[in-house]
């Protein structure tokens, strides 16, 4: 894979991943078969900042968890009103990292 194309991808999408994963992602992208590039370009990652805002505004309903694909946890938050408010507040601190982990999992499905 062309290094310039990989660096552009990293630069455009770095906010969707943890900083310490970026070098591993870059290495894997460089080793990736060129035929997977089209599929990689179609991936839509969730913005951690947007998910945090949704969590603050509607996290007690579990909408933040539904958006990142944690349907079971979303239902749990919905039925317990955000874990009686405790889970709702804890997610303000955890949801961005969880979103980045989900984005990495999505990327790994294409890379491996």
Q: What are phi and psi of 70, to 5 degrees?
A: -90, 75
Check residue 17 and report its DSSP letter.
S
Q: Where does 14-77 show beta strands of DSSP type E?
A: none
**pLDDT for 45-94, tens place per residue?**
999 999 999 999 999 999 999 999 999 999 999 999 988 989 999 999 99
What's residue 104's pLDDT? 95
Tokens found for residue 26: 């870059």
Mean pLDDT of the chain: 92
**Residue 1 pLDDT greater than 70, yes or no:** no
């Amino acid at each position: 894979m062309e290094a310039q194309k990989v660096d552009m991808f990293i630069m455009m999408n770095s906010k969707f991943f943890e900083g310490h994963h970026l070098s591993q992602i870059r290495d894997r992208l460089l080793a990736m078969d060129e035929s997977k590039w089209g599929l990689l370009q179609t991936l839509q990652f969730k913005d951690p900042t947007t998910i945090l805002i949704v969590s603050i505004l509607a996290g007690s309903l579990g909408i933040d968890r539904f958006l990142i694909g944690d349907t079971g946890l979303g239902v749990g938050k919905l039925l317990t009103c955000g874990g009686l408010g405790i889970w709702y507040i804890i997610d303000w601190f955890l949801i961005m990292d969880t979103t980045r982990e989900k984005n990495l999992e999505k990327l790994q499905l294409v890379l491996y």
